[in-house]
Amino acid sequence: MMFNPHKLGIHKVLQHIPLGSVFDAPYKRAVQKAVNIADLRMIAKSRAHKMVFDYLDAGGDDEISLRRGKDAYTELEMHYKVLSGIKPPLDLSTKIFGEDVTLPFFGCPTAGNRMFHWEGETAAAKAAEHHGTLYGLSSLATTGITEIGEIHNGPKVFQLYVWKDRELVKDVIAKAKEGGFNALALTVDFTWYGNRERDIRNDFSIPPKYNIKQTIEAIKKPAWTWDFLSHEPYTYACINTDVPADSLAAFVNSQIAPEFGWKDAEWLLGEWNGPSAIKGVVRPDDAKKAVETGFTTMWVSNHGSRQLDTSPATINVLPSIREAVGPDVEIIMDGGVQRGTDIAKALALGADSVGVGKPYLWGLAAGGTEGVIKAYDILKVELDRAMGLLGTPTVDALKREGPSLIKPRHPSSRDYPDMYAFDRGYGGGIV
């Protein structure tokens, strides 16, 4: 039987020893000084256990889609207007799922946030509340629906996978309704588990295997290790608190339904009976079918490039989805976003709002709540600056004038002259 310090109750002793703030002090200072999202990524890399960071950072197979997803934004030029007569403050407010928010971007629902930092989903919810934007909770979250509802009073979307057990689905969405979640997002690009080779090489497991390799990596990252060992073990709280985190793979394999089809989606929408998104759309014909089925929102996504490698960059397919569904259907887009200019480009090319995943999770892994708030701060300032320089004082103006402002160009090798760009998580550069 594998050694497990939580089963021995070691965390109950360590939680009374105030060393966490000591270990985290240098990372807290670094987060405060972070200039951009790439800085937060490097801080997260320096703080988190290698297998945890790589789980967050990785894509599928050869990670081609991961690189292309980021580089696609560099192939879009911003043809700004001058002498537009606008002045600060600009209006970044919009609506998501019909609810008012003060920012047109939000943190995507992601699984197992307490893996990165003990605050987990509560940190992301506090940051969303702080900035007045949407919060998204994964059905594989390590924090419960009720607890999130007590932290975040604004609009919330609950993410659901294509589960086999309809009674489980009915139970979970009933809890989401009771917890104040006003929208549901069905993830449809996770019918098979993607091939994430960094995880295989790292022998990724939850919790870590207490072998020599993982122990050496844990010693290298004392802040993360103390964080992990001095807090309660986590469970997947939205489904069944009796399912421990280390049973995730077995649970997912037993519950994911590859055969889930459009008729099943119709049944789900009937059970939910509210604003709903289909998450994982990259084809216009699927978007049209989703509208016919009853989904109110198209969520253009390729699961963070973690599933099918060489799937298209979402920013590249976004205009075709907008054309397919028309001007009145809500579109959310995520994928590859690391700058406020990326958000501006997505809004200009057809998105009504933009989801970010890795940026806020890097912030979480780097510094908990403060790190997530910092990620939002950075993107907000960058988006505000981009809109000002483009000559668009509001999100509506950016969406309305977008096609004349954002235009494709042919990429050049000179776009990536910095040999250290890859180390910063950029994706270009000489490797």
Residue numbers annotated as active site: 303
Report how far residue 28's alpha carbon sits from residue 358's, in angstroms, rounded to the nearest whole number.
19
- The answer to whether 340 and 384 have CB atoms below 8 angstroms apart is yes
Report how far residue 408's alpha carbon sits from residue 268's, in angstroms, rounded to the nearest whole number.
39
Q: Which two tokens stand for residue 302?
A: 């390729």
Q: Which of 24, 65, 89 is nearest to 368 (CA)?
A: 24
Q: Which of 142, 135, 148 is nearest to 109 (CA)?
A: 135
Report how far residue 347's alpha carbon sits from residue 354's, in angstroms, rounded to the nearest whole number.
7
Q: Which of 189, 181, 105, 170 is nearest to 144 (CA)?
A: 181
- The answer to whether 334 and 326 have CB atoms below 8 angstroms apart is no
Dihedral sign computed on CA atoms, order 74, 359, 305, 190: negative
Please name the amino acid found at residue 242. Answer: D
Report how far residue 192's alpha carbon sits from residue 258's, in angstroms, rounded to the nearest whole number.
7
The upper half-sphere exposure of residue 247, i.e. CA atoms within 13 Å in the direction of its Cβ, equals 14
Question: For the residues of 380-395, what is the DSSP string, one character each?
Answer: HHHHHHHHHHHT--BH
Q: Using alpha carbons, list the distances in angstroms from residue 1 to 10, 204, 210, 213, 313.
A: 17, 18, 11, 18, 44
Q: Which of 155, 160, 40, 180 is nearest to 104 (CA)?
A: 155
Report how far residue 270's alpha carbon sits from residue 168's, in angstroms, rounded to the nearest whole number.
15
DSSP 3-state of 160: strand
- The answer to whether 117 and 216 have CB atoms below 8 angstroms apart is no
Q: List beta partners, residue 100.
A: 95
Q: Which of 93, 138, 422 is nearest to 252 (CA)?
A: 138
Report how far residue 351's alpha carbon sits from residue 403's, in angstroms, rounded to the nearest whole number.
12
- In 161-318, DSSP assigns E strands to 183-187, 276-281, 297-300
